[in-house]
Chain A
């Protein structure tokens, strides 16, 4: 990453965020411009959706299994158990996302606290 080394960290982050925002807004503006002229049920858009889903699923699996940053301080079995608990509560509560998230995050906090205790 030659560019990253030439810049201070906050400036580099600002640069990445700006580019990310421009790319994001580009899709929206293009959507306004093309509205009424393209078929969103086409195979191209189905492929686009598949790529986005796969990329995010890959990122999330990686964030849970191989995190960088603060989550790396939590033990791997704890992170995996907390994710499983979130899924279990989600299905037990008739697919309530809020309760699932709260249970998963709460479980990770409790398990990490327990490990610090013993």
Chain B
């Protein structure tokens, strides 16, 4: 249920977005970026490269793909294709969010600017609250939420980097382990649609062996092969209840 909230002005809405992002969303995403910072350190890269990645690449799965494939020595094409596949979901997410951000008289470039903040956490918060806000407060709320989350994750990227460099090795292991464990649980929690659940299971089963077959192409083949198998199986299997709209 969307909570009925109304702010005094667009400025107040932006500040509310700022406040709303502090708390559980920031704790969860912030710790994941601690993990990302430690991953960057483990790959032997400078801290400013980690910050550059969080600043420009903003969407953790794609950032992890880049670091992992960099460590494996993958080609530019493989990295671009893997990030494109990982982040293609941002397109339908942006398409679904935009109607809830539009307000008459807003210059178009502002939509393009705030679209940088479309990533699961801020997107979910905006999808929940924005429909209930007056039109001119929606984009400010999303921008306030996104900017704060993004800034804080830059801080935790650097923090994770220096922690990984300074703490004893066995503690660093825990930091580097945060991301795989976090995404594993997010996926398990999110696996409601049968097609996506199948994609997760088949992907997890095919990923490691295909990596052994080809460290270069294993990840791309896993995505296309396991994803298409899951999609096809879902079409062929008798449907109990058909999944509706989603992102």
Contact = CB atoms under 8 A, between A and B. Distances in A.
Of A50, A65, A69, chain B has the most CB atoms within 10 Å of the CB of A50
Given A10-B46, A13-B45, A61-B207, A50 B195 contact: yes
Contacts of A100: 181, 185
B86 A55 contact: yes
Interface residues of A, number: 77
Given A19-B79, A63-B180, A55 B173 contact: no
A9 B118 contact: no
Given A28-B91, A35-B99, A59-B64, 14 more contacts: A9-B44, A20-B66, A23-B87, A24-B62, A35-B94, A46-B231, A47-B228, A50-B231, A53-B200, A64-B180, A70-B172, A73-B173, A106-B174, A108-B173
B11 to A, nearest CB: 23
Residues of B contacting A: mostly: helix
A-side interface mostly: helix
Interface in A46-105: 46-66, 68-71, 73-74, 79, 82-83, 86-87, 90, 95, 97-98, 100-101, 104-105
A57 B76 contact: no
Given A20-B83, A53-B196, A74-B173, A40 B92 contact: yes
A65 B118 CA distance: 31
B53 A17 contact: yes
Contacts of B234: 50
B227 A66 contact: no
Counting chain A CB atoms within 10 Å of each CB, the highest count among B87, B96, B181, B200 belongs to B181
A14 B90 CA distance: 22
Interface stretch (B14-22, B151-159, B208-216): B208-216
A56 B183 contact: yes
29 contacts: A3-B75, A3-B76, A16-B76, A23-B83, A23-B87, A25-B115, A31-B91, A31-B97, A31-B118, A36-B99, A47-B231, A48-B91, A49-B247, A50-B228, A50-B230, A51-B228, A52-B86, A53-B200, A54-B223, A57-B200, A57-B203, A58-B222, A59-B65, A62-B207, A68-B71, A87-B188, A97-B185, A101-B181, A105-B178
A97 B27 CA distance: 12
A49 B89 CA distance: 6
Given A70-B42, A100-B181, A58 B203 contact: yes
Given A29-B112, A95-B189, A101-B181, A52 B223 contact: yes
B219 A86 contact: no
B170 to A, nearest CB: 4
B82 interface: yes
Nearest to A4: B73
B187 interface: yes
Contacts of B222: 54-55, 58-59
Contacts of A51: 85, 88, 199, 223-224, 227-228, 231
